[in-house]
């Protein structure tokens, strides 16, 4: 009959920790290999970079437009009022051809 050697808790914990480290290392190596050699992963990375650049450019343009509007707010309001007044005069003249717009 064979005898079975029992291991201590510390030995088992040490083995588990070593196995965990080996598995983590293998996972990271596999992950790095997939990222650097897989064409689909490379294409995905390129599309993410392109999206990031487009997003940054869009945000920058929106901020520029916002700054222009904020700097020229009274000019914009004036133009809108003038356009409204002209439109009102034209509509009033069409309604009453003999009436002059003040």
pLDDT tens for each residue of 68-80: 888 888 888 898 9
Q: Looking at the whole model, is its pTM more than 0.85? A: no
Burial 65-96 (b: 16+ CB within 10 A, else e): eeeeeeeeeeeeeeeeeeeeeeeeeeeeeeee
pLDDT tens for each residue of 32-69: 887 778 888 788 889 999 999 999 999 999 999 889 88
Q: How far apart, in whole angstroms, are the C-alpha atoms of residue 53 and residue 98? A: 60
- Residues with Cβ within 8 Å of 23's Cβ and at least 6 positions away in sequence, in order, are none
């Amino acid at each position: 009959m064979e005898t079975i050697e029992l291991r201590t808790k510390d030995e088992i914990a040490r083995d588990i920790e070593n196995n965990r480290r080996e598995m983590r290392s293998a996972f990271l190596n596999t992950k790095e290999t997939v990222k650097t050699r897989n064409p689909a992963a490379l294409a995905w990375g390129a599309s993410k970079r392109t999206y990031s650049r487009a997003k940054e450019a869009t945000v920058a343009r929106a901020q520029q437009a916002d700054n222009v509007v904020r700097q020229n707010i009274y000019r914009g309001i004036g133009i809108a009022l003038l356009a409204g007044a002209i439109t009102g005069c034209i509509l009033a003249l069409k309604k009453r051809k003999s009436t002059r717009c003040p």
